[in-house]
Amino acid sequence: MTPARRSFGSKEDLALALAETVADDLRRGIEANGQAALAVSGGSTPARFFVFLGRKKDVDWSRVLVTLVDERWVPETSDRSNAGLVNEKMLQGPAAVARFIPLYAGGDAPDAAGLARTAEQLRALPERFDAVVLGMGNDGHTASFFPGGDNLAAALTGTEPVLSMRAPGVGEARVTLSLDRLLATDALYLHIEGEEKAKVLESALAEGSVDEMPVRAVLRQTRTPLTIYWSP
């Protein structure tokens, strides 16, 4: 299944279009199920998209659940927190009434007790997302599926919904939804920007091992159609 691709002239155009598409996904979910669930990435790329999405007045945000595809194990007050980013950029104005489900669950590290608390928090979510928006790093990671990650195999092939992840050079410990959990979605997007990431994507689409570039697991899967959003 070759991923669909949408390219835009600017980051702003991309963010506007992706916000409109995801808002449609949320409206469709609310119409069908009375609520909608969205999982988003952190990092630096999605901020603009978050702002445009959060301003959508024609989404009944009181019926939307928002979570993260992955998180650094830090409190929301940290500038490394993806939850902090989502709250600051998306969950303002009309979207302020959405319910945010954090992955971070307190304590210094995502040990067994911490992860059990995260799993408990995630029980508020329906089994399927209405939309999942992934990002990609220049090393070919997506979510916290890092090359050399200590739980990479389990995250890519297991059925545990949420796992901890530590990887060389990545900094603090992470927590990530598994591939199985992320693919349980009606709509799946990969949002990348810049020429360097375009090159990384081309290598990821070529032959090579998933362990080297874990984003390949998303690009090669045949369960959930993927659309790649790119702008320079």
Residues that bind ligand 6PG (CB under 6 A): 41-45, 69-70, 82, 135-137, 141-143
Cβ proximity to ligand 6PG: between 61 and 146 the closer is: 146
Cβ proximity to ligand 6PG: between 42 and 84 the closer is: 42
Smallest distance from ligand 6PG to CB 30, Å: 25
Smallest distance from ligand 6PG to CB 91, Å: 17
Output the CA–CA distances (angstroms, integers) from residue 32 to 36, 109, 122, 172, 214, in the order listed: 9, 38, 21, 39, 33
Cβ proximity to ligand 6PG: between 27 and 45 the closer is: 45
Smallest distance from ligand 6PG to CB 32, Å: 27
DSSP states of the chain: -PPEEEE-SSHHHHHHHHHHHHHHHHHHHHHHHS-EEEEE--SSTTHHHHHHHHT-TTS-GGGEEEEESEEESS-TTSTT-HHHHHHHHTSSGGGGGSEE--S--SSSS--HHHHHHHHHHHTTS-SSBSEEEE---TTS-BTTB-TT-TTHHHHHH---SEEEE--TT--S-EEEE-HHHHTSBS-EEEEEESHHHHHHHHHHHSS--TTTSTHHHHHH-SSS-EEEEEE-
When CB distances to ligand 6PG are compared, the closest residue is 135
Cβ proximity to ligand 6PG: between 78 and 224 the closer is: 78
Cβ proximity to ligand 6PG: between 61 and 189 the closer is: 189
Cβ proximity to ligand 6PG: between 42 and 54 the closer is: 42
Smallest distance from ligand 6PG to CB 15, Å: 13
Q: Which residues contact 169 (CB under 8 A, 6 or more apart)?
A: none
